[in-house]
Amino acid sequence: MKAKISLLTIALILLSGLALLAAPVRAGSPQPQVVYATPTAQADGRIFYRVQENETCLRIELLTGVKVADIIRLNNLDQNCTINPGTDLLIGIVTPEPTATLNPDVTATPLLPTPTATKGTGELCVVLFADINGNAMRDETEPTILGGAVSVTGTGFVFSNTGLTVTGLDADGNDNMLCFADMPEGDYTISLAVPDGYNPTTSTTYPFKLIAGNRSIVDFGAQASAIAPPPENGGGEEGGRSPILAILGGILILGGIGLAVYIRLLRQ
C-alpha cells in the first residue's frame, strides 16, 4: 500500500509542476503612474526636489539627471545617500539675473498701462517603460518601450497633439522621451495606447495640470503579454527545438509512467 501511495504522489507532483511552468505571468491591476515636475528655481537661484515615498537617490538621479554623488555633496548626506520622504533636497543652483539699478539723477519715465497678463508655457514629456516586475514604478534596469500612441488634449482644446513613445539614450546617457514643448499652462488629459503584445500596468488615461516654466515627465508602464515565439529556423542539431519543451515532454512521460504503474498495482 505504501508503494502505491508513493507512486501516485510522485505522479501528482510532476503534473502540478508542469501546470505551474505553463502558467503565464500576468501584470497586476493598473496603478497610478509616477509624475515628476522639474521644480522652478527660487529667488536665490536654489532648486529643491521633495522626496516622495519609497524613493532612493538613484531614482532621483534617473528623474532629474542630477548624479547621486552631487546629491550627497549638495546636501551633506552620508555615503549611502540616506534620505527621508518629505525632505527637500538641493539639486542645483542657478545664478539669478542681475537687477538693473536706477540712476537717481535720471527722471523716471511715467509708467505705461499694464498689459493684460498672458499665460505662460511649459513642456510635457511622456515615457513608456517595460514594467518587468509589474509594480507600476520604473526600476533602474527597466528599459523604455517604442511605439506607444500618446494623445494630449487641453481643457477647451487650447492645445491638442499626438505622438509615439521613443526608446534609447541621448548623448548624455539619459532616456530619449516624447516631448511636447510650448504648451500653455492649464489642465490636460493624457491618453496612451500600449503597442501590440503588451498589457498596461498603470492607468492609460491621466488628468494632468501643467504649470508655466515647468518641464514635467509622466511615466506609463506596460508588461509583455506573452513570451515571444522561437525563431522559425532555429539553430541546433534538431532544427531549433526548445530544450524547455524537451524537459516538459520528459515530465509528461514520467507522469504517465507513474500513473500506469499505479493503475496496474491497483488491479493486482
Is the per-residue pLDDT at 63 higher than 60?
yes
170 neighbors 158 (Cβ within 8 angstroms):
no
Q: Map grid coordinates 488634449 to a residue.
A: 153
In this structure, the chain runs to a length of 268
Handedness of CA 17, 28, 140, 191 (dihedral sign): positive
End-to-end CA distance of the chain: 11
What is the tens place of the pLDDT at every residue in 177-195?
Answer: 999 999 999 999 999 999 9
- Most confident range (mean pLDDT) of 47-51, 96-100, 115-119, 155-159 is 47-51
Backbone phi and psi for residue 10, each to the nearest 5 degrees, phi listed first = -60, -45
Entry pTM: 0.48
Average pLDDT over residues 154-175: 87
Beta-carbon count within 10 A of 150 CB:
20
For the chain, count helices (H), then strands (E).
4, 11
Backbone phi and psi for residue 181, each to the nearest 5 degrees, phi listed first = -95, 165
> Which domains occur in the chain, in start order?
1-30+121-224+260-268 (2.60.40.10), 38-96 (3.10.350.10)
